[in-house]
Amino acid sequence: MKKFLLALTAVAAMTASASAADLAARPYTKAPAPLPVAPSWTGFYIFGGGGGGIWDADTHTQTTIGGLPLVGINQRQGGDGWFGTVGAGYDWQVSPTWVFGVFADGQFGSLKGTIQDQAIFVAGNIKNDYSWAAGARLGYLVAPNVLSYVNAGYTNSHWKGTGLFSTISGLDAGLHTNDFDRGGWFVGGGVENNLNIFGITAPGWFMKTEYRAAYYDRKNISELINGTNVSNGTDISFKPFVQTISTSLVYRFNWSGPVVAKY
């Protein structure tokens, strides 16, 4: 009996040792890697770029005193050209997919076309050499680093004065117009994306392409006699509509690319 009890005790001891060895040999398993956290679009940004534009304007001539058209023909004049642009803004990401922001920018270049007085057959080149705008935009994130947006706001444009020439002889008509500014409003839209989508490691750098349509108030441009700067009694009525497309590089100060949550 004593031998039998000793044998049972030995078997129990060996079984416990084997179980402990199995527990010690169990391999360590790492926790699953955390998912990347998309960066926020909230923050300040600056941009610069360039583009092209076209404009047209409904025109007619009228007397300075009476204000009635001298001729019954309304015309649409136009022009085109290139420009550079710079600006800055601030965005708020108000939800996982919606972004709201405010911005201001300026355009500098040469959108050149013609104006004319149909009554006395004179015409001249007129140029929109700079403009500025301030407004707001609302965007939807089609991807964490791609924003599709629409915008609108106030805009102001500057137009250069011009000398007027006879459309019959091509000679100087002895008349000119002065520079003027015109305000209005604009609507537009575009797409902005982080440059990392092209395989470039560029934290903070984006590209945006934008279309804009600007509607300006009517201006009665006085025809002035050279030398005296006195009106000849006639104005050229001018109401411009400007369309532009631009592409800009954008730098976002708060953007560092996707980050991974740490535990």
| pLDDT digits 0-9 by tens, 99-110 | 999 999 999 999
Residue 122, strand partner residues: 117, 166
Q: Tell me: the pLDDT tens digits for 45-60?
A: 999 999 999 999 988 7
- Candidates 154, 156, 176, 155; CA nearest to 164 is 176
Bigger pLDDT: 119 vs 114: 114
pLDDT band at 2; cut points 50, 70, 90 = very low
What is the average pLDDT value for the chain, to the nearest integer? 85
Per-residue model confidence (pLDDT) at position 58: 84
The residues that bridge with 84 in the sheet, in sequence order, are 50, 108
In this structure, the dihedral spanned by the alpha carbons of residues 41, 45, 50 and 53, taken in order and rounded to 10 degrees, is 70
**pLDDT-above-70 percentage for the chain:** 78
Q: Which of 191, 193, 233, 186 is nearest to 212 (CA)?
A: 186
Q: Does an H or E element contain 13, and which?
A: helix 2-24
Residue 246 to residue 153: CA distance in whole angstroms: 17
CA nearest neighbour of 160 among 185, 196, 130, 116: 130
Q: pLDDT class for 37, splitting at 50, 70, 90?
A: low
The mean-pLDDT minimum among 82-96, 170-184, 244-258 falls in: 244-258
pLDDT band at residue 77, thresholds of 50, 70 and 90? confident
**pTM of the shown model:** 0.79
In the numeric block, which tokens belong to residue 251? Answer: 């730098």
pLDDT at residue 227 in the model: 92
